[in-house]
Amino acid sequence: MITRYDLWLAKLRRRSQPSGLLSQWANKLANQKGHTPEYWRSYLRSILDGETVAPPEFILDLELISAQPKEIKSNENSQQMLWDSFEG
């Protein structure tokens, strides 16, 4: 039976594929939580390899770090309408 954790782990594995991403995540975790980037790289690798189960609070941290930023589409008309509403 596939659990939500299994689905999350598969998604995290896909996200971590590009070269250097694991190191970037490790550096961010070191800056936010302490320890060294090497510690976090090793910990992340143990999660990705299925040796360690990530605790729920760490899953949230990883989601925030690993999520792809959404592209914000600029619509000048809607911005203009917003400014017009303040003038009005």
Handedness of CA 1, 56, 10, 73 (dihedral sign): positive
Whole-model pTM over 0.75: no
Which string of DSSP letters, residue by residue, matches 12-75? HHHHT-STTHHHHHHHHHHHHH-S-HHHHHHHHHHHHTTSSPPPHHHHHHHHHHHPPPPPPPP-
pLDDT digits (tens, 9 = 90+) for 22-71: 999 999 999 999 999 999 999 999 999 999 999 999 999 999 888 766 66
- Domain residue limits, the chain: 21-66
- 3-state DSSP assignment of residue 5: helix
Instruction: Check: CB of residue 9 under 8 Å from CB of residue 50.
Output: yes
pLDDT digits (tens, 9 = 90+) for 60-69: 999 988 876 6
